């Protein structure tokens, strides 16, 4: 009997491998960073071969740590940085260019050009793909490679090239070129995939000049993605789970009922809410995305992202130098009873959902002579909770569901002050699980469910264990006043960098 499911967690700065047992416990973990390339301001690239080599080495390391052989592993689940684009030669497996990373802004002008050429493209794309027409997603990045790397368009038209997000690339490498596939959750981030019909969209492919021959087969997230080649782990291991990182985290947090939501507090914040088996298009700054395809069904989620969250704590640490380490922010914030009327809006790179203002810039408002560094630290931490509250309000409006509990994960969810304030400001419980490796966990669940390692979602839910629950303690008047002042503070940042 196999003892583990292997999760390959291909992140933006590092790749990890975790072996989970049946109880969802971490039995082994290995992690390795890889190179970030910044060839021009605003451009971000990775070396796809390095991504593969790093991922393979941590997978082998995780197996070695516990002396596991391939027969000990029931299945592989893959989760990955989303939207990042790789284009490679089907025969040789050689990428034709570096991977263009989701953060890369090189296609900002292309977006404007396409919107001029096709005035309806943004609206049509939203109703087909659930996405905002933005350079962030894969479509324009793929078009950039096709149009800018010499000879590539001809090779693509001739059927010689394969496109994929990082999941597809790893599947291709693991199967030694036998399988070229992706899952619905990753496909739904490309701007090329119709989330209503679960198929690549002819018109968007045409408008973005993407030959359909380069596209991978899109499958449910818990499905047959082939077997790893025996060369890698001593024998074949079935690949049975694939999901983009945020959707995998939603799955790992066992948000299986419509209305359940999770928020990840990392560099930025990503909130996803399960909305069931029909997409909604609230048109209020949120994305609609496929959560996963499972058991012959597709489920959808609303998604809202905050660009600067934990990064604001890094700013306190690295630029202001008023904390030595991010976790110290908790101690300092609790040295004072409030922020003394001060609000920090860390709109360093504009504002994401629900404002989508690229011209917003950060501000500190409400300063009086008595505001000290503790107040400033507290106000910065509170800004993570306020931004989350704005996204949640849009989600509640968009879904018609009032959230009763928010499940949390990510580095900054360990901050108890922040979690209590979060609960206070959204007037809902905040639940932190014992295992916050929810992304890898979600990928392993999707794979394990496909091979019967776990029998059903109910079986998996049993593994979710509470570390701590935070309940709202703030009175309604204070909450209303706080939210009003926060909104006023946000108002000072909007449009700041516009001519």
Site for ligand ADP, rule CB under 6 A? 266-267, 310-311, 313-314, 326-327, 329-330, 410-412, 414-415
The answer to whether 294 touches 241, Cβ cutoff 8 Å, is no
Distance CA 447, CA 7 (A): 8
Q: Is the CB of 407 or the CB of 414 nearer to ligand ADP? A: 414
| Pairing assessment for the beta strands 429-433 and 405-409 based on DSSP bridges | parallel
Residue whose CB is less far from ligand ADP, 128 or 378: 378
CB closer to ligand ADP, 195 vs 309: 309
Report the residue number, 72 or 330, with the smaller CB distance to ligand ADP.
330
Least distance in angstroms from the C-beta of 374 to ligand ADP: 15
- SS3 annotation, 277-315: CCCCCCCCCCEEEEEEEECCEEEEEEEEEECCCHHHHHH
Dmax over CA atoms of the chain, in Å, equals 69
- The CB-of-391 to ligand ADP minimum distance in angstroms stands at 16
Toward ligand ADP, which CB reaches closer, 133 or 265?
265
Q: How far apart are CA 32 and CA 16, in angstroms?
A: 6
Beta bridge partners, 407, equal 262, 431
Q: With respect to ligand ADP, which residue has the nearer C-beta, 167 or 299?
A: 167
Rank residues 167 and 330 by Cβ distance to ligand ADP and give the closer one.
330
CB of 318 to ligand ADP, least distance (A): 9
As a whole number of angstroms, the distance between CA 55 and CA 166 comes to: 11
CB of 228 to ligand ADP, least distance (A): 26
CB of 3 to ligand ADP, least distance (A): 28
| CA proximity to 12, closest of 30, 28, 31 | 31
Q: Of the two residues 53 and 326, which places its CB atom closer to ligand ADP in the complex?
A: 326
Provide the minimum distance between the beta carbon of 266 and ligand ADP in the complex, in angstroms, as a whole number: 3
Burial class (CB in 10 A: 0-12, 13-18, 19+), 198: middle
CB of 438 or CB of 493, closer to ligand ADP: 438
* Shorter beta-carbon distance to ligand ADP: residue 57 or 326: 326
Q: How far apart are CA 388 and CA 28, in angstroms?
A: 32
Cis peptide before 354 (omega within 30 of 0): yes
Least Å distance, CB 85 to ligand ADP, is 20
Q: Which of 388, 375, 166 minimizes the C-alpha distance to 265?
A: 388
Cα radius of gyration rounded to whole Å, the chain: 22
Closest approach of Cβ 115 to ligand ADP, in Å? 30
CA 124 and chain centroid, separation:
24
CB of 425 to ligand ADP, least distance (A): 16
Nearest approach, Cβ of residue 158 and ligand ADP (Å)? 39
Whether the CB-CB separation of 191 and 203 falls below 8 Å is answered with no
Spatial separation of the C-alpha atoms in residues 145 and 202, rounded to whole Å: 19
Nearest to 294 by CA among 254, 351, 237, 353: 254
Nearer to ligand ADP, 38 or 281 (CB): 38
* CA atoms within 13 Å, Cβ hemisphere of 381: 30
The residues facing 432 across adjacent strands are 468
Q: How far is the CB of 67 from ligand ADP (least distance, A)?
A: 29
Q: How many residues does the chain have?
A: 499
Give the closest residue to 155 by CA, choosing from 62, 226, 87: 87
Tell the smallest beta-carbon distance from residue 69 to ligand ADP (Å).
Answer: 31
SS3 label, residue 263: strand
**Are residues 432 and 415 in contact, defined by beta-carbon separation less than 8 angstroms?**
no
Query: Cβ contacts of residue 371 below 8 Å, gap of 6+?
Result: 339, 340, 341, 342
Give me the residue whose beta carbon is nearest to ligand ADP: 411
Nearest to 147 by CA among 137, 159, 157: 157
CA 447 → CA 81, 142, 241, 454, 495, distances in Å? Answer: 18, 28, 4, 9, 45
Nearer to ligand ADP, 30 or 450 (CB): 30
Cβ of residue 366: shortest distance to ligand ADP, in angstroms? 22
């Amino acid at each position: 009997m196999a003892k583990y499911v292997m999760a390959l967690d291909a992140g933006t700065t590092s790749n990890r491998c975790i072996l989970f047992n049946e109880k969802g416990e971490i039995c082994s973990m290995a992690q390795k960073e890889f190179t970030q390339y910044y060839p021009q301001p605003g451009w971000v690239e990775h070396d796809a071969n390095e991504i593969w080599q790093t991922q393979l080495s941590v997978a082998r390391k995780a197996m070695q740590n516990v002396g596991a052989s391939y027969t000990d592993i029931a299945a592989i689940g893959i989760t990955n940085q989303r939207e990042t684009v790789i284009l490679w030669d089907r025969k040789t497996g050689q990428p034709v260019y570096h991977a263009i990373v989701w953060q890369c802004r090189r296609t900002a002008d292309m977006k404007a050009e396409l919107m001029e050429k096709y005035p309806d493209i943004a609206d049509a794309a939203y109703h087909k793909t659930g996405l905002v027409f933005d350079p962030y997603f894969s479509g324009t990045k793929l078009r950039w490679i096709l149009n800018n790397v010499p000879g590539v368009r001809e090779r693509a038209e001739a059927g010689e090239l394969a496109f994929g997000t990082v999941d597809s690339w790893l599947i291709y490498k693991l199967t030694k070129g036998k399988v070229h596939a992706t899952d619905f959750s990753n496909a739904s981030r490309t701007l090329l995939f119709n989330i209503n019909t679960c198929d690549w969209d002819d018109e968007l492919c045409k408008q973005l000049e993407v030959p359909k021959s380069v596209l991978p087969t899109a499958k449910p997230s818990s499905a047959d993605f082939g077997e790893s080649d025996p060369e890698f782990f001593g024998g074949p291991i079935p690949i049975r789970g694939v999901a983009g990182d945020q959707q995998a985290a939603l799955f790992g947090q066992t948000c299986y009922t419509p209305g359940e939501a999770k928020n990840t507090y990392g560099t930025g914040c990503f909130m996803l809410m399960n909305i069931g088996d029909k997409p909604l298009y609230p048109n209020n700054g949120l994305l609609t995305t496929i959560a996963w395809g499972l058991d012959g069904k597709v489920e959808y989620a609303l998604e809202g992202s905050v660009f600067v969250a934990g990064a604001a704590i890094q700013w306190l640490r690295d630029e202001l130098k008023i904390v030595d380490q991010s976790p110290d922010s908790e101690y300092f914030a609790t040295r004072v009873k409030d922020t003394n009327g001060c609000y920090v809006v860390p709109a360093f790179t504009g504002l994401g959902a629900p404002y989508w203002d690229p011209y917003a810039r950060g501000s500190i408002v409400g300063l009086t002579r008595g505001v000290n560094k503790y107040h400033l630290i507290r106000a910065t931490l509170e800004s993570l909770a306020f931004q989350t509250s704005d996204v949640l309000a849009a989600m509640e409006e968009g879904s018609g569901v009032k959230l009763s509990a928010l499940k949390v994960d990510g580095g900054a969810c360990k901050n108890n002050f922040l979690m209590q304030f979060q609960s206070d400001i959204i007037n809902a419980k905040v639940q932190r699980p014992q295992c916050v490796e929810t992304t890898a966990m979600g990928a392993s669940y999707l794979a394990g469910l496909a091979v019967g390692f776990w029998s059903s979602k109910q079986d998996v839910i049993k593994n979710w264990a509470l570390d701590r629950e935070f309940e709202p303690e703030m009175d309604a008047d204070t909450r209303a006043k706080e939210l009003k002042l926060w909104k006023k503070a946000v108002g000072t940042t909007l449009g700041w960098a516009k001519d």
